[in-house]
């Protein structure tokens, strides 16, 4: 195996210049996301959500960003999962309306909707076979019917109050710019 300490990448693409930064960090985010999509980056919408337990233990989970609406980042998950119970994000997080969750849920593939209904997120399971049996039973229950969104599944909208952009540069002289939301909303 290659020594991982020797793995290094030299960053040679263009940097960030303060004079060229937009006033709105969401427009820069949207541009970077579109560039990742256009470059066929695998899972360009994967984002990390950090949570903290009441005891102060941090945890992170990868979720897929499903929208950017009215300055809020939207993702969907099981509300009873660890990432759904405790959110600690540099910004404010709130559940989206049941109607918004229903609308997105209906767009998910059939098997993903069934999986959302039976998956005991963040809970131990006896076996994979138990999970498969529960999936088959639930799929049969909804055969020929519209699969309803379970109450414990839906979306969150995160309103950012702090966004940091990092761009690698040659010689590790990277660019890093921090946007913070002011009390006046700008």
- Whether 17 is catalytic is no
The DSSP result for 32-80, as a single string, is HHHHHHHTT-SSTTEEEEEEE-TT--EEEEEEEEEEEETTEEEEEEETT
Catalytic residue, chosen from 8, 57, 128, 172, is 172
* Cβ contact 25:160 at 8 Å: yes
Query: Three-state SS for 18?
Result: helix
* Cβ contact 73:160 at 8 Å: yes
Q: Which two tokens stand for residue 145?
A: 């019917």
**Cα distances (Å, whole numbers) of residue 162 to 1, 68, 135, 182:** 39, 16, 40, 10
* Cβ contact 111:145 at 8 Å: no
Picking from 45, 160, 47, 151, the residue whose alpha carbon sits closest to that of residue 94 is 160
Q: What angle do CA 51, 54, 58 make, to 5 degrees?
A: 35
Looking at the annotation, which residues are catalytic? Answer: 172
């Amino acid at each position: 195996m290659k020594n991982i300490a020797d793995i290094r990448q030299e960053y040679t693409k263009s940097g960030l210049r303060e004079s060229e930064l937009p006033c709105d960090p969401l427009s820069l985010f949207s541009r970077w996301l579109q560039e990742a999509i256009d470059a066929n980056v695998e899972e360009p919408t994967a984002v990390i959500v950090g949570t903290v337990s009441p005891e102060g233990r941090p945890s992170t989970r990868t979720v897929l960003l499903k929208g950017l609406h009215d300055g809020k980042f939207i993702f969907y998950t099981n509300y009873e999962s660890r990432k759904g119970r405790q959110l600690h994000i540099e910004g404010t997080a709130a559940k989206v309306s049941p109607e918004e969750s229903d609308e997105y849920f209906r767009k998910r593939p059939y098997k993903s909707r069934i999986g959302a209904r039976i998956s005991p997120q963040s809970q131990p399971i006896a076996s994979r076979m138990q999970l498969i049996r529960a999936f088959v039973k639930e799929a049969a229950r909804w055969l020929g019917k519209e699969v309803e969104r379970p109450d414990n599944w839906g979306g969150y909208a995160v309103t950012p109050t702090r966004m940091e952009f990092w761009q690698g540069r040659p010689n590790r002289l990277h660019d890093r710019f921090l946007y913070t939301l002011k009390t006046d909303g700008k």
